[in-house]
Chains A and B, each alone.
Chain A
Amino acid sequence: MRYTPKNIEENFNVSRGSRVAELLRLTIGLVIMVFGIYLLLGFTVDLIVPYISPKLERSLFKDNYKSKSYKTKTPDAIYLQKILNKLTANLDEKEKSDYQILFSENDELNAFALPDGKILVYKGLLKQAESENELAFVLAHELGHFAHRDHLKGLGRRLVLIFVSSLFFSSDENPVNKIFRQSLSITHLKFSQKQESNADLYGLALLNKTYGHVGGAADLMDRLKQGEKNSLFLPFVSTHPPSAERSKMLQQTIQKHHYQLKKKFPIVVE
């Protein structure tokens, strides 16, 4: 047998075509799929949430706050609780529940509606506020979230997020998975901007019912929007609509409903 050496020029073992195009195609496919499932499950959560009774909610989250270092008995917390009680006294009968202030010494400027009627307020908010009415509006806004069951929807969506990412990828450390979770969480935040606006409307109405006027409601927003002017990304990544937008919307609502603006109460922490 004679061996004739022959150089094979063409490579049959490597597929033709651009790898970059393939990457783009697969990425787009994955994005469509993940978002499709995420949206579908998200809507399902929104459908289910109204059927979760406050009783069930309480039993689910009863022990949730025990280990955290939130204050309920400090002067700050007691002061906020007083304002909250004023507001809740004016709620409709079916919305009444045991709402409680949790106070955090953190300097962050924020407040959250947490399951089981807890409102987490950060010290930064108390520092920024200049009147009781401002704080009351923030609390009324959070009560709006409770009334619309947004706190459970947000939680449900976060659960969906964890579920979707664990469904598609086995490990958390997978870079593709990580990036998808991050981009999903941005859209998740953007999702709730409409809920924030609705909570603002609710808060305004409740503030008016409690104090007889809405003075101070837009004050905090007016002060915040000064600080936001230089931030490019904020409208995109923020949980709340930009303060300027909110302030504008509040002003419009105040005019539309002919709400009064009267004297504001000072902050008195005993």
Chain B
Amino acid sequence: MADIINICFFIFLIVLGYIVGSIVEANHYKSIKRREAELLHLPAVTLPYKQFFAQEKVEVERISLVSGSVVLSEDYFKRILGILTNFFGGKMTSYESLIDRARREAILRMKVAAKDADVILNVRLLGVPIGKEMSEKNSISSVEIMAYGTAIKILKPTA
């Protein structure tokens, strides 16, 4: 009897994780897409300064280090799917959307941090797992993605 209750509870958690996780994810993507469109005017590229400004000579008003980071956690459904995928191997599809959201969110936050800059150069991304191993007891499993780069504010020539 206790076994059956346990199994039902387990299935309930997966279903709940899936439903809630899907809603949260859909809302997050909606917000990411809206803000990406809003901040489209600010380029964030991996090119270094010399290459980006190879053809035009500009006077730089301000240089600053900008960064944005985000920590996202898995839901129960993703976790179970992850454990199963971990066993058989193959694409960790359950975590793909999680990492994708974290990456884009980190870049967005970096752009917000850059405020009125004209371009962010040398952009790098960095991922750090937070929490213990997935299989360990009472572990939380989440990931931090950090985006950082050099924000350049160009001195506009007065007309």
Binding site for B on A (CB under 8 A): 1, 3, 5-7, 11, 13-15, 17, 19-20, 22-23, 26-27, 29-30, 168-171, 173-176, 178-179, 182-183, 185-186, 233, 237
Contact = CB atoms under 8 A, between A and B. Distances in A.
B138 to A, nearest CB: 8
B81 A7 contact: no
Name the 3 nearest CB pairs between A and B, nearest first.
Answer: A26-B84, A173-B137, A171-B135
B96 A23 contact: no
B98 to A, nearest CB: 9
Given A26-B88, A171-B137, A237-B3, A14 B100 contact: yes
A176 B84 contact: yes
Contacts of B138: 173
A187 to B, nearest CB: 11
A5 B119 CA distance: 11
Given A1-B54, A7-B40, A233-B1, A170 B135 contact: yes
22 contacts: A1-B54, A1-B56, A3-B119, A13-B100, A15-B91, A15-B93, A19-B81, A19-B94, A22-B85, A23-B77, A23-B84, A26-B84, A26-B88, A30-B88, A170-B135, A171-B135, A173-B136, A179-B6, A179-B7, A185-B3, A233-B1, A237-B4
A183 B84 CA distance: 17
Interface in B53-85: 53-56, 77, 79-81, 83-85
Contacts of A171: 135-137
Interface string B28-39: 000000001100
A11 B52 CA distance: 26
B83 A176 contact: yes
Given A19-B81, A175-B10, A1 B135 contact: no
A3 B43 contact: yes
A7 B104 CA distance: 13
Contacts of B84: 23, 26-27, 30, 176
Contacts of A182: 3, 6-7
Q: How large is the interface on B (under 10, 10 to 19, 20 to 34, 35 or more residues)?
A: 35 or more
A30 to B, nearest CB: 6
A233 B37 CA distance: 57
Contacts of B52: 1
Given A3-B119, A5-B40, A7-B37, A19 B77 contact: yes
B126 interface: no
A169 B81 contact: no
B97 interface: yes
Nearest to A13: B100
A26 B80 CA distance: 10
Given A5-B41, A22-B93, A173-B136, A168 B87 contact: yes
Nearest to A181: B3
A30 B85 CA distance: 10
A55 B10 CA distance: 45
B24 interface: no
Given A19-B77, A26-B87, A171-B135, 11 more contacts: A1-B53, A1-B55, A7-B37, A19-B94, A22-B94, A30-B84, A30-B88, A171-B136, A171-B137, A185-B3, A233-B4
A6 B45 CA distance: 13
A19 B136 CA distance: 24
Contacts of A14: 93, 96-97, 100
Contacts of B54: 1
B126 to A, nearest CB: 17
A174 B3 contact: no
Nearest to A182: B3
Nearest to A173: B137
A17 B85 CA distance: 15
